[in-house]
């Protein structure tokens, strides 16, 4: 997510092929089919995931969440970068740069 200390906000998210995700009772559940571990996202995280799954850049996701929840842009960017970092750490997503190349 971060390149030289900078967040690559032009990147898009690619879900791992070894996961399945579904919204159940207002929360998103993500299952890692390889490890059998599951994760749940709250309503804001679920909204972020849905936007990311549409192929939007992180910049676009942050902007949409800001307007939808009327939250300060800075706070949304902090939350979104934390979420993406956590998902990457668990191997649930990878990032792709603006030109389609894998992002660091």
| Binding letters toward another protein, positions 49-88, x by CB under 8 A | ----------------------------------------
Our finding on whether 29 is near another protein (CB under 8 A) is yes
| Tokens at 100, concatenated | 């389609």
The site for another protein, by CB under 8 A, has a size of: 10
For residue 32, CA distances in Å to 2, 38, 68 come to 24, 6, 29
Our finding on whether 40 is near another protein (CB under 8 A) is yes
Are 85 and 35 a contacting pair, CB within 8 Å? no
d(CA 11, CA 57): 5
Task: Name beta bridge partners: 57.
Answer: 12
Which of 22, 72, 99, 100: binder of another protein (CB under 8 A)? 22
Binding residues for another protein, rule: CB under 8 A, are 20, 22, 24-25, 29, 31, 33, 36, 38, 40
């Amino acid at each position: 997510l971060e390149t030289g200390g900078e967040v690559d906000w032009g990147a898009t998210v690619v879900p791992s092929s070894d996961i399945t995700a579904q919204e159940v009772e207002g929360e998103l559940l993500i299952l890692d089919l390889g490890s059998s571990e599951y994760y749940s996202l709250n309503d804001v995280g679920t909204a972020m995931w849905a936007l990311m799954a549409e192929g939007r850049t992180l910049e676009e996701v942050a902007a949409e969440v800001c307007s939808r929840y009327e939250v300060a842009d800075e706070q949304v960017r902090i939350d979104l970068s934390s979420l993406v970092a956590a998902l990457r750490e668990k191997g649930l997503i990878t990032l792709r740069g603006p030109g389609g190349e894998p992002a660091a």
